[in-house]
């Protein structure tokens, strides 16, 4: 993927608003949701903001068909991937399978998978590199628990996750990637980080990318905030210079709310 595709006409990073549908919607429901989203999205701001949706595996094909047929300017995303291309991995889905479906973005290392399904840093790193190998863009999630935050360990935790996930990835590829800072205590709770805190952690992540992968990687990589983003708080959360968009869970299930978040992201970066 060319980094240039993700630059706005002004040469700034193009904000990305991604809807993580998690384990919601049958394929029939997903078709209705994507049609409603198409109707709700204001096409004007989409010149400056990119939008992706991440249905469950069972709905990817249906959503892709509607996106293509109706020429809806929304990128297709997946919520997870395996690191091998094929083989004896019952129940898993490989990078080439997703790439062939037109998937552009793949969420890797979501905290729900790390915490509730035992996904390790090493597996996240393998998934990330496999996603890049297949020509797709990883959205790599990092974030601290409430206890880690209270202990003042936020930077240490997110930088540790970042370093482990991006170990061995070439700077030119890092420049095309997406990282999502999702504090675990803010996911699905209605509590968000303050815009100041979100901006500060995103800036810390970008600084680390600059120190370890160079200035071009730091300038190109997009860093999203996630955790209880909705249509009311999106504008302030996305106002920071280092916040390049949002990874949205609950509010992305409502096409009108999700479209409003995309419009807020466009306004925040105008």
Active site residues: 110, 182
Nearer to ligand 13P, 149 or 217 (CB): 149
Of residues 64-93, those binding ligand 13P (CB under 6 A): none
Q: Does 247 bind ligand 13P (CB under 6 A)?
A: yes
Q: Does 249 bind ligand 13P (CB under 6 A)?
A: yes
Binding mask 153-182 for ligand 13P (x = CB under 6 A): -----------------------------x
What are the helix (H) ranges across the chain? 27-40, 57-69, 95-100, 111-116, 121-133, 146-150, 154-166, 171-174, 195-213, 215-220, 234-237, 255-268
Q: Least distance from C-beta 139 to ligand 13P, angstroms?
A: 9
| Secondary structure (3-state) at 106 | strand
Whether the CB-CB separation of 78 and 109 falls below 8 Å is answered with no
- In whole angstroms, what is the distance from residue 46 CA to residue 38 CA? 11
- Closest residue to ligand 13P using C-beta atoms: 249
Q: Does 255 bind ligand 13P (CB under 6 A)?
A: no
Residue in 220, 226, 245, 255 binding ligand 13P, rule: CB under 6 A? 226
Q: Does 183 bind ligand 13P (CB under 6 A)?
A: no
Per-residue b or e along 118-145, where b marks 16 or more CB atoms closer than 10 Å to that residue's CB: ebeeebbbbbbbbbbebebbbbbbbbbb
Q: Least distance from C-beta 225 to ligand 13P, angstroms?
A: 10
Residue in 33, 198, 224, 229 binding ligand 13P, rule: CB under 6 A? 229
- In whole angstroms, what is the distance from residue 11 CA to residue 168 CA? 27
Cα 79 → chain centroid:
9
- In whole angstroms, what is the distance from residue 189 CA to residue 186 CA? 6
Residue in 188, 232, 241, 270 binding ligand 13P, rule: CB under 6 A? 188
Residue in 55, 138, 199, 227 binding ligand 13P, rule: CB under 6 A? 227
Contact residues for ligand 13P, defined by CB under 6 A: 20, 110, 182, 187-188, 226-229, 247-251
């Amino acid at each position: 993927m060319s980094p240039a595709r993700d630059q706005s006409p002004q040469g700034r990073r193009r904000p990305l608003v991604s809807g993580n549908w998690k384990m919601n919607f049958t394929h029939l429901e997903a078709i209705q949701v994507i049609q409603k989203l198409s109707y709700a999205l204001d096409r004007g701001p989409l010149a400056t903001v990119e939008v992706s949706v991440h249905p469950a595996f069972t709905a990817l094909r249906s959503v892709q068909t509607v996106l293509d047929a109706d020429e809806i300017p929304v990128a297709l995303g997946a919520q997870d991937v395996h690191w091998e291309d094929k083989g004896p991995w019952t129940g898993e889905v490989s990078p080439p399978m997703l790439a062939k479906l037109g998937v552009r973005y793949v969420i890797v290392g979501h905290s729900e998978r790390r915490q509730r399904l035992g996904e390790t840093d090493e597996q996240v790193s393998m998934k990330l590199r496999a996603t890049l190998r297949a020509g797709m863009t990883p959205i790599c999630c990092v974030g601290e628990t409430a206890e880690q935050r209270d202990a003042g360990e936020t930077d240490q935790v997110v930088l540790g996750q970042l370093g482990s996930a991006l170990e061995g990835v070439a700077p030119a590829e890092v420049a095309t990637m997406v990282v999502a800072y999702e504090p675990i205590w803010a996911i699905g709770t209605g509590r968000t980080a303050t815009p100041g805190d979100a901006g500060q952690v995103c800036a810390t992540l970008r600084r680390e990318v600059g120190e370890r992968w160079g200035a071009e990687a730091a300038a190109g990589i997009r860093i999203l905030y996630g955790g209880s983003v909705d249509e009311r708080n999106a504008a302030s959360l996305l106002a920071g210079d280092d916040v390049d968009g949002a990874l949205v869970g609950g509010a992305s299930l409502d096409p009108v709310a999700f479209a409003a978040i995309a419009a807020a992201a466009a306004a925040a970066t105008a």
